Amino acid sequence: MASHPLDGSLADWEEVADADHWAVLVLGNGLSVNVWPQFAYASLFEHARDGGLTPEDLALFDNTPNFERVLADLNTAIRVSQVAGVDASPFYERYRRIQLALGHAIRQVHVTRSEVPNESLAAIRAELLNYEWIFTTSYDLIVYWAMGYGEVFRPFVDHFRFGGRCEFDPSRADVFDGEIPVYFLHGALHLVVGGTGVTWKLRRTAIQTLLDQFGQPIPGDPQARPLLVTEGSARDKFRAIEGNDYLSHALELLRTLELPVVVFGSRLGQQDQHLVDALAEHPERPVAISLFPGTRREIAAQKADIYSRLEVDTLLFFNSRTHPLGSADLRAPVIAQRP
């Protein structure tokens, strides 16, 4: 199987689909944007500026717009203060303000479950069933809702299944026959990391949706925070991933799998170099990457950028609009009265 030429052409998905048995799917934000265009926000941090952050809070973001890094640093400051016998309440206050500002930003851009057509989630779920391993860098709830569409998660598994609050245990994360594991490489809105570093998932309750719960205080664990690796440099993202058992486990799996990979909805830009490095770990496995249609010059430039950083034997490119996950039929209707 030869790589596609370094020009402005794009194959249709059907042509690429017939070229190999594609076992691994890596999803980017493109799927989410296709369902809900508001997910194409320029920066979550810019939305959060209106969420009550003080100048002192904003100063913590001088070198990074990554909420996970800033909240983790504050968490460290809280622990050090407690050990040193210093009043940690100012750090707690700032921690809570930043967390609530993040919740404000998410609610501004996130679609509600009732706004996503059932047909869209059913179609996404049907396509996910074609793969053996699924990874996603999006932290919205589209993939999670599709996994559980119809109130049946099987054969999908996420390994949050231990203890009363569905914790992740890396020593008990085996994948069994018939299961399709799904990993959230950059965290997700329904994932929480506690003050001790344990990661678990939120679940819908009788009175609260997952969006209602996002960013709210966790009873009994004031240092708990959303597990979200938000915008930032590749270095910031990798640091956040390596500092969490769940995220590092997921990235290591992507690195070690030797099966053919489809990348949909991600250009694998400079900020995602950690994903490029993981895919290049086994250069003999074919990689097929979706690109959004554009001018021949734009397509050729995107191809050249990926070629220069991803060294694999077989690299294919296809038109994202021809893939089932790029279908315009998945689009949620715009709610005119929605603020």
For the stretch 128-174, pLDDT in tens is 999 999 999 998 999 999 999 988 889 999 999 776 678 999 888 99
Q: Which amino acid is at 251?
A: L
The tokens describing 228, both together, are 């979200």
Q: Give the best-scoring range by mean pLDDT among 66-70, 72-76, 82-86, 305-309.
A: 305-309
Structure confidence at residue 336 (pLDDT): 42
In terms of pLDDT, which residue wins out, 257 or 52?
257
Helix axes 67-84, 89-109, angle to 10 degrees: 160
User: Domain extents for the chain?
Assistant: 13-42+115-186+235-330, 46-108
- Read off the pTM: 0.85
- Read off the pLDDT band of 335 (50, 70, 90): low
Q: Give the best-scoring range by mean pLDDT among 43-52, 58-67, 168-177, 329-338.
A: 168-177
Backbone angles phi, psi at 160, to 5 degrees: -100, 85
Please give the C-alpha separations between residue 39 and each of 28, 34, 49, 219, in angstroms, as whole numbers: 11, 9, 17, 30
Lowest mean pLDDT among 73-77, 112-116, 171-175: 73-77
- Read off the pLDDT band of 116 (50, 70, 90): very high
| Mean pLDDT, rounded, for 172-181 | 94
| Mean pLDDT, rounded, for 251-274 | 94
- Read off the pLDDT band of 322 (50, 70, 90): very high
Positive or negative torsion for Cα 36, 41, 44, 49:
negative
Q: What is the b/e burial string over 177-198, where b = at least 16 CB atoms within 10 angstroms of the residue's CB?
A: eeebbbbbbbbbbbbbbbeeeb
- Burial of 289: CB neighbours in 10 Å, binned 0-12, 13-18, 19+: buried
CA–CA gap between residue 318 and residue 237 (Å, rounded)? 27
CATH number for the domain whose boundaries are 13-42+115-186+235-330: 3.40.50
Structure confidence at residue 148 (pLDDT): 93
How much is the CA Rg of the chain, to the nearest whole Å? 20
